[in-house]
């Protein structure tokens, strides 16, 4: 990754000044209500007239391609997210990182790349951030300088402004493609093996409680979306998220989203509040986008009181670390519960932990699937069912290795048979090579 200062395109300030002039004239000519009433073609015609007027009145030299570019970029300012619009239209980009108004990076194919995209100044970037957060009913100001929001396509946005950010407003956008990755896509990308898929899909159908663990950007949400495909169409699903990201394909889905406090510090609705209310809404399945606080206790109680088939994600490096994290979260909700009781409830509630990892080449894989077997010596006991074993790096920089079953027969197979799911025991010994092809 390059650390050199970004080279600015010649005439960039003139370009921004020209767009600013046209944009101001447009706002002075049309009221906000008139702007909303016009469609994109109507706005495009108005912008074209004003560009021509400025070119003639002020003698600004401009070619036809430059004129078309000005019109398109001002449309982006009026209808979209300004300089970020071309990046948002590029489906190969998975992350957009705005490190101040004049420093924008993207991630493409697992690699960070510096761009020549820039905003006019900090006020311009702040205006775009305000537009994003206001669209989802949130706010960002000195009293609340951090905000999570989402775009219309489901992409997740995290923005931070001064005084917390020392480089001016900054923002990260985690992209979610308009086309959901299918199971076949994930198999082709070696996210998991066919044997692993047969096992985890059977566990979902048999209503086992599943935790998906992993770091940031490891594919936890993608895996949660994938597993949800195996939930029956007749089941009532309720999802709880801080920022709505899940894209479930079922018809009977109730989507709930937390709400931050208002400027007076009141009116907030936490994930725990939503989870308590969800238990009164007759759910067949409860899906919590991410367990990160006291709501873990209520999720644990729900799993232990008849709401089988629930799923959540948690930040953790290994399946066993996931239990340590969950134990800490439960203690945040109630410090009066003994550690031993918490571990017993965790072992009783959670059946399966799936570990997702983002590897050095940017690929995302399931690296471990562990089954909870009980509690021994006051510790949650697990047996590993599958793992991904890394064997090296190819000349092209791709991680190579193998998916392999560890030969352990899952205790949950009897339950799967009760749901009419019969898996061959051979899949728990299979080895699938992952090469750079």
Q: Among the ranges 24-38, 123-137, 198-212, 319-333, which has the highest mean pLDDT value? A: 198-212
Compute the half-sphere exposure of residue 248: CA atoms within 13 Å on the CB side of its CA: 28
The span from the CA of 107 to the CA of 215, in Å, is 17
Q: Among the ranges 42-51, 59-68, 247-256, which has the highest mean pLDDT value? A: 247-256
* Distant-in-sequence, close-in-space partners of 219: CB < 8 Å, separation ≥ 6: 191, 356, 358, 364
Question: Phi, psi at residue 290, to the nearest 5°?
Answer: -155, 130
pLDDT in tens, 205-215: 999 999 999 99
pLDDT in tens, 339-396: 888 888 888 899 999 999 999 888 899 999 999 998 888 888 999 999 999 999 888 8
Q: In what order do the strands lie in the sheet with 146-150?
A: 111-114, 104-108, 93-98, 170-174, 156-160, 146-150
Of all residues in the chain, the percent with pLDDT exceeding 70 is 84
Mean pLDDT within 170-186: 83
**Does residue 10 surpass a pLDDT of 90?**
no
* Distant-in-sequence, close-in-space partners of 127: CB < 8 Å, separation ≥ 6: none
**Residue 378 zone, left/alpha/beta (φ > 0; ψ -120 to 50; rest):** left
Q: Provide the angle, in degrees to the nearest 10, between the axes of the packed helices 40-58 and 12-29.
A: 120
The DSSP secondary-structure symbol of 425 reads G
Q: In what order do the strands lie in the sheet with 253-257?
A: 253-257, 237-241, 285-288, 311-315, 210-214, 352-358, 364-376, 379-393, 399-405, 431-434
- Alpha helices by DSSP H, listed for 209-294, are 220-228, 271-278
Indicate the pLDDT class of residue 135, thresholds 50, 70 and 90: confident
The DSSP secondary-structure symbol of 168 reads B
Mean pLDDT within 2-9: 38
**Does residue 52 surpass a pLDDT of 90?**
no
Predicted local confidence at residue 44, as pLDDT: 64
CATH 3.40.50.1820 assigned to 80-177: no
Strand partners, 432: 403
The span from the CA of 235 to the CA of 250, in Å, is 9
The span from the CA of 370 to the CA of 412, in Å, is 12
Domain residue ranges in the chain: 1-79, 80-177, 183-434
Q: What angle do CA 165, 217, 369 make, to 5 degrees?
A: 145
**Does residue 27 surpass a pLDDT of 60?**
no
Mean pLDDT of the chain: 83
Low-confidence winner among 60-69, 197-206, 237-246 (lowest mean pLDDT): 60-69
User: What is the CATH code for 183-434?
Assistant: 3.40.50.300
Predicted local confidence at residue 437, as pLDDT: 62
The DSSP secondary-structure symbol of 341 reads H
Q: Are 204 and 309 in contact, with CB atoms under 8 Å apart?
A: yes
Mean pLDDT within 286-309: 82
Indicate the pLDDT class of residue 33, thresholds 50, 70 and 90: low
Q: Is 384 helix (H, G, I), strand (E, B) or coil?
A: strand
**Does residue 176 surpass a pLDDT of 80?**
no
Mean pLDDT within 100-115: 89
Low-confidence winner among 27-41, 59-73, 193-207 (lowest mean pLDDT): 27-41
Q: Are 211 and 353 in contact, with CB atoms under 8 Å apart?
A: yes
Predicted local confidence at residue 250, as pLDDT: 84
**Does residue 4 surpass a pLDDT of 60?**
no
The span from the CA of 98 to the CA of 103, in Å, is 6
Predicted local confidence at residue 39, as pLDDT: 60
Predicted local confidence at residue 291, as pLDDT: 83
Mean pLDDT within 151-165: 89
> Is the pLDDT higher at 118 or at 80?
118
């Amino acid at each position: 990754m390059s650390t050199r200062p970004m080279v600015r395109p010649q005439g960039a300030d003139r370009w921004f000044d020209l767009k600013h002039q046209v944009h101001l004239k447009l706002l002075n000519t049309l009221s906000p209500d008139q702007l909303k009433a016009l469609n994109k073609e109507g706005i495009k015609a108005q912008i074209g007239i004003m560009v021509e007027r400025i070119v003639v009145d002020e003698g600004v030299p401009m070619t036809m391609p430059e004129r078309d570019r000005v019109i398109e970029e001002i449309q982006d300012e009026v209808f979209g997210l300004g300089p970020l619009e071309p990046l948002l239209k590029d489906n190969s980009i998975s992350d957009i990182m705005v490190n101040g108004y004049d420093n924008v990076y993207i991630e493409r194919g697992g690699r960070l790349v510096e761009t020549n995209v820039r905003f006019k100044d900090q006020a311009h970037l702040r205006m775009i951030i305000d537009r994003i957060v206001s669209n989802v009913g949130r706010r960002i100001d000195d009293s609340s300088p951090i905000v999570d929001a989402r775009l219309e396509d489901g992409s997740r946005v995290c923005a931070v402004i001064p005084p917390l950010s020392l480089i001016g407003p900054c923002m990260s956008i985690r992209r979610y493609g308009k086309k959901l990755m299918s199971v076949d896509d994930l198999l082709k990308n070696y996210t998991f093996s066919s044997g692993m898929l047969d096992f985890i899909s059977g566990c979902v159908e048999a209503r086992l409680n599943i935790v998906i663990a992993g770091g940031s950007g490891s594919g936890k949400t993608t895996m949660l979306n994938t597993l949800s495909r195996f939930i029956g169409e007749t089941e009532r699903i309720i999802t709880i998220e801080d920022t709505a990201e899940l894209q479930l394909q079922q018809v009977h889905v109730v989507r709930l989203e937390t709400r931050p406090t208002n400027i007076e510090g009141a009116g907030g609705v936490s994930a725990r509040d939503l989870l308590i209310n969800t238990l009164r809404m007759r759910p067949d399945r409860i899906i919590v986008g991410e367990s990160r606080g006291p709501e873990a206790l209520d999720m644990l109680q729900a799993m232990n009181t008849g709401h089988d088939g629930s799923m959540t994600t948690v930040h953790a490096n290994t399946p066993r670390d996931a239990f340590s994290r969950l134990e800490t979260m439960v203690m945040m909700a109630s410090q009066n519960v003994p550690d031993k009781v918490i571990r017993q409830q965790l072992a009783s509630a959670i059946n399966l932990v799936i570990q997702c990892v983002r590897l050095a080449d940017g690929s995302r894989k399931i690296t471990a699937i562990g089954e909870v077997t009980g509690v021994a010596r006051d510790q949650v006991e697990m047996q590993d069912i599958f793992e991904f074993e890394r064997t090296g790096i190819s000349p092209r920089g791709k991680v190579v290795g193998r998916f392999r079953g560890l030969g352990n027969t899952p205790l949950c197979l009897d339950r799967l048979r009760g749901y009419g799911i019969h898996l061959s025991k051979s899949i728990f010994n299979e080895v699938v090579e992952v090469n750079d092809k």
